[in-house]
Structure 1
């Protein structure tokens, strides 16, 4: 009987040491992933700064390709911050990130190809339909 009591006592100590670990890991999974509030405040600050730069482009009266390039750059940076932090894409699997981020990048590549093609088509039409001199 004493051997059985010693055996049970050993198993109880063994169970006792593992129960808090299981409870702690279960609590972490049930609670979800928590990010520090400082991260969100820093991202909010960067969004404010980028928006200020975007408005300063109009305030200083920049024109042409420089204006649109800067506005688009600030817009993409702000969208990237929002998607990465507030939509939690920075912590997702790489496959999910590719599934969401790769199609817009490919659309931009195809738009760039169409712009180059349209310039070529316009040049050919101007040369072909120009009045002979």
Structure 2
């Protein structure tokens, strides 16, 4: 008697999901290029570019790296460190004005 073999080939997703994600990536890239095409300037330009970049990265991580179907602990292990870095960058941006003010005050007072 031979025992039936079971093969775990992993989780297969329909091709439609990948095509939809590729279309969304194309649309988001087109929107990012349109920001330059329409000569958007200043903080709005950089905000839009960063938003489109984050959305594209989120789609890639969620679907192509299969994070949308992974355990919560693995998701936290991959997503929390970049989020912590963003928090620290935000703190540095917030504190930069104070640091600049302090340097200018002491350099001007010292001369």
TM-score by length of structure 1 reads 0.74
1:47 aligns with 2:20: no
2:35 paired residue number:
57
In the TM superposition, 1:1-133 aligns within 5 A as 26-27=6-7, 30-130=8-108
Unaligned runs of 5+ in 1: 1-22
* Structure with more relative contact order (C-alpha pairs < 8 Å, separation 6 or more): 2
Distance 1:42 1:93 in 2: 24
Unaligned runs of 5+ in 2: none
Corresponding pairs, count: 106
Larger Rg: 1
Distance 2:54 2:103 in 1: 35
Distance 1:118 1:31 in 2: 52
Distance 1:38 1:107 in 2: 34
Superposition RMSD in Å = 1.8
Shift of residue 71 of structure 1? Answer: 0.4
